A = this chain, B = another copy of it.
């Protein structure tokens, strides 16, 4: 078995040819991978059964994340085909201009080269990530978690076979068949061969990667998402948006966690809003002023305001106005998705300019932070850092740019 370093080196070598491939060649390989996933579904299911057996002592939520079914495998293959349908970002001329001395400068979209992805639990990531990286012209080195090792191993073999079937080199998708901490650490030391690393998982993984990576990281944090009900808000819109943001799928990163309400509107708005949420199974904790208005609300701790509950739980805080709301959001948010409910354009403008987040919403649910909802298609993660790309990381965000400067003998004075 190749060492981590060898896998990365081979991916780097393969990356120069992959960067030259046109969309057709890449799509052919993606189709072949999808076909192969379908053809070898039984093998994937058998491998997955081993993972589930090994995971018998962990909770049912974790088991559900691990579990593959014939339907989920079909969806995985379909996902790969959908990536083939997306436009190829590579080679796009982003900008083009001619200097007074006649130099023609083009800024062209190019692949990064090699992307490292360290991920946890879900085995479908193996196929999704491989497809997105390939389509954006990048080789990828995958290092999955130990919970899904049998499934990941089977999928990696299938993807490699699909690559060869489709006319590309198997080394385009490297797989580290070692789930020790050392293998992650070793991958993070390969700055010479790996251009960018993307962690997909919890905060622990993110910190480990940020701490040890010798190459740039694209980090995604969880979403401690806020909505602020400003006093001019349309109460019906506010109610609908908040209900959707909290209740439609509380386990995901774009779900609402923190509700801020202007003190002027709180007495009329909060009772009905919180009773509806409570009735439908949502735990509500809040500040003292909230509890004076809605007695069943529990006392929120300072920690609650900084917590991504990931569940049917909401923290409520009454604020004195837009400035306090903005200050609190910038203090407690994870730079993911935050919004305002308001009809006051001046305050909306202030809020959207000052709130520091990848996605700032006005009168809409935070649940829209998603590659498909934005119309970009599949994404590899939601970036919450400010460098390179913020928000959904789709194909375009998996590329870099370079300048190509053409002359006819120009020299500098």
Q: Are A361 and B105 in contact (CB under 8 A)?
A: no
- Is A165 at the interface (CB under 8 A from chain B)? no
A183 close to chain B: CB less than 8 A: no
Closest residue of chain B to A348 (Cβ to Cβ) is: B406
Interface string of A172-204 (1 = CB under 8 A from B): 000000000000000000010001100000000
Given A196-B386, A360-B405, list of 9 further CB < 8 A pairs? A16-B330, A110-B353, A236-B409, A248-B411, A360-B402, A363-B406, A364-B411, A367-B412, A388-B388
Contact of A216 among B216, B354, B365, B373 (CB under 8 A): B216
Q: Which of A58-66, A237-245, A310-318 is the interface stretch?
A: A237-245
Give the number of copies in the complex.
2
A97 to B375, CA, bound (A): 10
Residues of chain A having any CB pair with chain B under 8 Å: 16, 19-20, 97, 99, 103, 105, 110, 112-113, 191, 195-196, 210-211, 214, 216-218, 234, 236-237, 240-241, 243-245, 248, 326, 330, 339, 350, 352-354, 356-365, 367-368, 373-375, 385-388, 390-391, 400-412
A76 shortest CB reach to chain B, Å: 22
CB atoms of A353 and B390 under 8 A apart: no
Bound-state CA distance A241–B361 (Å) is 52
Q: Which of A243, A360, A373, A404 has the most CB of B within 10 A?
A: A404
Contacts of A403 in B (CB 8 A): 358-360, 374, 390-391
Which chain B residues lie closer than 8 Å to A105 at the CB level? 374
- Pairs A–B under 8 Å by Cβ, sample size 6: A196-B387, A211-B214, A216-B217, A362-B406, A364-B410, A387-B387
Which of B99, B240, B350 has a CB less than 8 Å from the CB of A411? B240
In the complex with contacts A20-B353, A216-B387, A387-B196, A409-B240 CB distance below 8 A: yes
